[in-house]
Structure 1
Amino acid sequence: MAVTFDLFGTLVDVEYPTDPAEVVARELESRDVAVPDDWHVAYGERHADAPEGAEVPLPAHVAAALDSRGVAAPDNVVRHAVVAAFDPDVTRREDALEAVRAAAEGGPVGICSNCAVPELVPRTLIRAGLRGEFDAVTTSVGCGWRKPHPKAFEAAAEALGVVPSALVHVGDDPATDGGIVDVGGRFLDVTEIPLDAIGGELEAEP
């Protein structure tokens, strides 16, 4: 058995920008990128013909939104702007570290997180005091697929050296995290099972 944890909303709380397009625009402008007048419209449009469930990295989306309005910007500038725009305050949830360490007593432990922003997950783990606690970290921006797509869980299982059916996934959203059951694994919902009870639930795993 291996265990993966969702990150945002499960192990940590973060404050997201209330207007992401505006925050990204400010970071672009601070790097001398000419943001179009209808930026909010461009930001909200779909620019990539990606398969259902595939993750489009946010820097790629932002670059495509700019390009759709005739604005060219170097990829590294766009990436730095996006990373800076999503640089939140992080609060580790009570009993999160204890839950991760309890899970580690039974086998490999990883992160399986939906996140379109490069660098955000490792930065969050550092700020939450969780760096070094996981055998593998799988993100949608890294593997290319968002939960609940089976390929997201398959990537997480492969990173931990197990088959997907041997995976227990701990998360807070049945609509996304609950997708683990479609590949034969088990879902533990922290909205029903508190983090301080996760260890006991895992010990009861048949």
Structure 2
Amino acid sequence: MATSFDLFGTLVAVERPDDPAAAVGHELRERGVAVPDDWEAAYREPHIDAPEGAEVPLPAHVSAALASRGVDAPGNAARRAVVAAFDPAVSTRDSAVDAVEAARERGPVGLLSNCAVPELVGRTLVRSDLSREDFDSIVTSVACGWRKPDRRAFEALAAGLGVPVESLTHVGDDPATDGGITDAGGTFVDVTDRPLQSLAAEWREGREC
């Protein structure tokens, strides 16, 4: 059985900025960028015309938002500001490690996360009780270019695991995004209905999802 897990809200909880625009604006100023007076409005406006289901990396959005106000962010200032603004405090969900271990006893295990912030998934894993080595493949939307529930996100994860997407069981907390696996022919497990502790016990008993 091939299993994939969502990260945020499923395996870990992270503290996010209460006001992302303000947090990013602060970090831009720290890097010498002249943040426009109407930055809050610029941050919230769409600036990149992306295909349906595509992920727009947040640094690209921030650079485009600045450019819309005639401001240039030199070098990689936008990327560094975004990474700093979303630098996470992390706590691992109860039974997350056990559930991943139980899944590994049954087959390959992947991690599939919607995340527009570069480096955030890696930093989150480092600060959690999990590690990159717990997963046979890690796919983020910012890296593969597609967000759940788009089928292409699940296909990228399945390809990394070397299995057909139809054979994938995806564990997550959001039916609107994680539940997209069902449109690709796979199985969705909602941790709000079946907690990680229960899933780990079921898998060790040999029960299918």
- TM-score range for the pair, normalised by the shorter chain length: over 0.9
Partner of 2:117 in structure 1? 117
For residues 1-206 of structure 1, what are the structure 2 equivalents within 5 Å? 1-131=1-131, 132-202=133-203, 203-205=206-208
Code of the aligned partner of 1:159 = G
Structure 1 residue matching 2:3: 3-state secondary structure:
strand
SS at match of 1:111: strand
Tell me the secondary structure at the aligned position of residue 83 of structure 1.
Answer: helix
Amino acid at match of 1:183: A
What SS class does the counterpart of residue 88 from structure 1 fall into? coil
Q: What letter corresponds to residue 106 of structure 1 in structure 2? A: R
CA distance in 2, matches of 1:7, 1:201: 21
Q: Distance in 1 between matches of 2:109 and 2:198?
A: 17
What is the letter of the counterpart of residue 126 of structure 1? V
Contact 2:88 2:123 in 1 (8 A): no
Amino acid across the alignment from 2:110: G
- Whole-Å separation in 1 of the counterparts to 2:94 and 2:200: 14
Paired residue secondary structure (1:174) = coil
Whether the 8 Å contact between 1:109 and 1:134 is mirrored in structure 2 is yes
One-letter amino acid of the structure 2 residue matched with residue 197 of structure 1: S
**Shift of residue 204 of structure 1?**
1.9
- Provide, for residues 38-81 of structure 1, a one-character-per-residue CA deviation record: whole Å limited to 9, x for no partner: 00010000001101110000000000000000001124111011
CA distance in 2, matches of 1:126, 1:172: 22
Quick check: 2:83–2:118 contact (8 Å CA) kept in 1?
yes
- Structure 2 counterpart SS, 1:7: coil
Contact 1:63–1:75 (CA<8 Å) still a contact in 2?
no
Q: Gapped runs of 5+ residues in structure 2?
A: none
Q: Match for 1:205: what amino acid? A: E
Aligned CA distance change for structure 1 residues 56 and 111 (closer, same or farther; 3 Å): same
Identity of aligned residues (%): 65
Number of aligned residue pairs: give it. Answer: 206
Quote how far apart the aligned CAs of 1:15 are. Answer: 1.1
TM-score scaled by structure 1?
A: 0.98
Q: Hey, what's the Cα distance between the residues in 2 that align with 1:103 and 1:40?
A: 43
